[in-house]
Amino acid sequence: MLSCIQGLSSARPLVVRRRFVRASLLGLVLAAGAVQADSGLMSEVDARAADKAPMDERQRASFEQWLADFRRHAAAEGISEQALARAFDGVRYRPSIIEHDRHQPEFVQPIWEYLDTAVSSTRVTTGRDKLAAHRDTAREMERRYGVPAEVIVAIWGIESNYGSHFGDYSALDAFATLAFDGRRRDFARRELLAALRIVDAGDIPARDMVGSWAGAMGHTQFIPSSFRAYAVDGDGDGRRDIWHSIPDVMASTANYLKQAGWQAGEPWGAEVRLPDGFDYAQTGRKSTAKWRRQGMRAVSGALPEFSSAEVIVPAGAQGPAFLTGPNFRSILRYNNATSYALAVAKLSDAIAGRDGIVQGWPREQAPLTRDDVTRLQRSLNRLGYDVGGADGIMGPNTRKGLRAFQRDQGLTADGFATQALLARLENA
């Protein structure tokens, strides 16, 4: 989704309807860059039942008063009365949205499981079919914006499974509900106002502005503020329609990546082999020449020549390593999750007929639950490796503290948390 809403579990690589939760791009809020399993999310049947249940009269009155107040605010911000009538006359509070918003997945999904689905053979085949069906449009957007056609199609595939799952929630319902009763009310208020501006501009009728429960809209899941900033009229009809017009979808997606710094003609990166004794604490960017001097080699072919590149090891020293350049960072701007960006990169490679990941993943490793990560953080803090609050999220401070502990224990300091490492910490 084109938005990085930190906290709203929205559609996208991890779309709720696709049974994934993910950290969003253009402003969508998901948890700290980790791809999480959705065990415990409401089923579609339960969601519909919750939305049809009678609303408490006190809550109904409170929501209606809030809506009236926001309507006055929107009018003061320049939204026309005609647009407000079209948008707000049918808006309703959706309890299922609040249930989704407050849900905290217990398990962090291993990246290899996420990639198994995100870059499945079916998704690759469908992606090639979609590219063939829309080849002229995709190539035209590649010419205009410098973003390869297969990358545009890959984002389409991961965001909404090529349009088959972009959600059926009204974005106006979603942001009104979240602004009234969600965890990030100020954010939702801003997005609701942006959605009203889209309706006022005539890009899409209010009734057709649909997407995920978190408000990410259309084939490639833009939130309203991202739509206003990056959506493009690709078919020349005077409207930006990412729900029904594939040229608009492709142009908008490519424009977003271009504005995020996409470098035409450069690859996203490459799978690499790291030298023995590699220092995994290196988190800064270096030129390819400097990485090469450390003994890095490409798994196949030559290393891409970057002036600024970084190494990522999503599963630590036990898994594959990648040298990533500016275009990988552009994908991260779309959705700030390493798993998401790697999925887009590898799906685009597969659609184009390039090699998949060669080095194996440590599939024998059992994932840590949020409670496990909380215990790990508490143990690190107890031992003097200050990682801040114990929130159950494997963020950069936790990985830094974990690397320091591993180094002091004579272990490979890759910052990759395992059940064995948790046990070692708790017994230290």
Residues with catalytic function: 159
Identity of residue 296: M
Nearest residue to 153 via CA among 166, 137, 168: 137
Three-state DSSP at 65 gives helix
Give the dihedral of Cα atoms 377, 281, 25, 369; nearest 10 deg.
-30
Whose CA is closest to 15, among 188, 218, 158?
158
Separation between Cα atoms, residue 21 and residue 216, nearest integer Å: 13
Burial class (CB in 10 A: 0-12, 13-18, 19+), 170: buried
3-state per-residue secondary structure call for 98-127: HHHHHCCCCEECCHHHHHHHHCCHHHHHHH
Residue type, 21: V
Radius of gyration of the chain (CA): 22
342, amino acid identity: L
Q: Which residues, including other chains, have CB under 8 Å from residue 179's CB and lie 6 or more apart?
A: 66, 70, 185, 188, 189, 192
- CA torsion angle 313 17 260 297 (round to 10): 20
Cβ atoms of residues 423 and 370 within 8 Å: no
**Token pair listed for 320:** 């594959």
Indicate the burial class of 422 (C-beta count within 10 angstroms; 0-12, 13-18, 19 or more). middle
CA angle, residues 378, 414, 35, in degrees to nearest 5: 70
Alpha-carbon 1 to chain mean position: 6
